[in-house]
Amino acid sequence: MKELGASTWEEALITLRSVSPIHHVEHIQAPVLLVHGEKDRTAPLEQAQHLYRSLQSAGKRGELFIVPAAGHVFNFRDEEQGKLAWEKTIEFLDRQLKENPYDEGSEIIK
């Protein structure tokens, strides 16, 4: 709670809710990749599924990849699960960058 500048759990919840992406879906402009452990008990899978459905409902582009049997911070605990998540991330970025190399109004920096 200290990191949030809150002295009570109720104060912390106000801050956490205000910065949660679920409350800002309408402002998301870039494609989103959600990578979530199937057995995550810290941040339940249902939260990622809810965000994914909200993105879809708002007409936003996104993908949800569920890492089988993975918990929270699986990439630090299981090399194979981490490798799988990185492979999916690279595939996602590769697809996005090939489809949308840059916006017409973007500046290319050399």
pTM across the whole model: 0.78
Residue 105, helix vs strand vs coil: coil
Q: Is residue 7 part of a domain?
A: no
Place of tokens 């973007």: 106
Closest CA to 32 of 61, 65, 58, 54: 61
Q: Is residue 58 part of a domain?
A: yes
Residues spanned by the domain of 52:
28-99
Task: Note down pLDDT in tens along the chain; length 110 residues.
Answer: 667 788 888 888 888 888 889 999 999 999 999 999 999 999 999 999 999 999 999 999 999 999 999 989 877 788 899 999 999 999 999 999 887 655 554 454 44
What's the count of helices (H) and strands (E) in the chain, helices before strands? 4, 2
First and final C-alpha spacing in the chain: 42
Number of structural domains found in the chain: 1
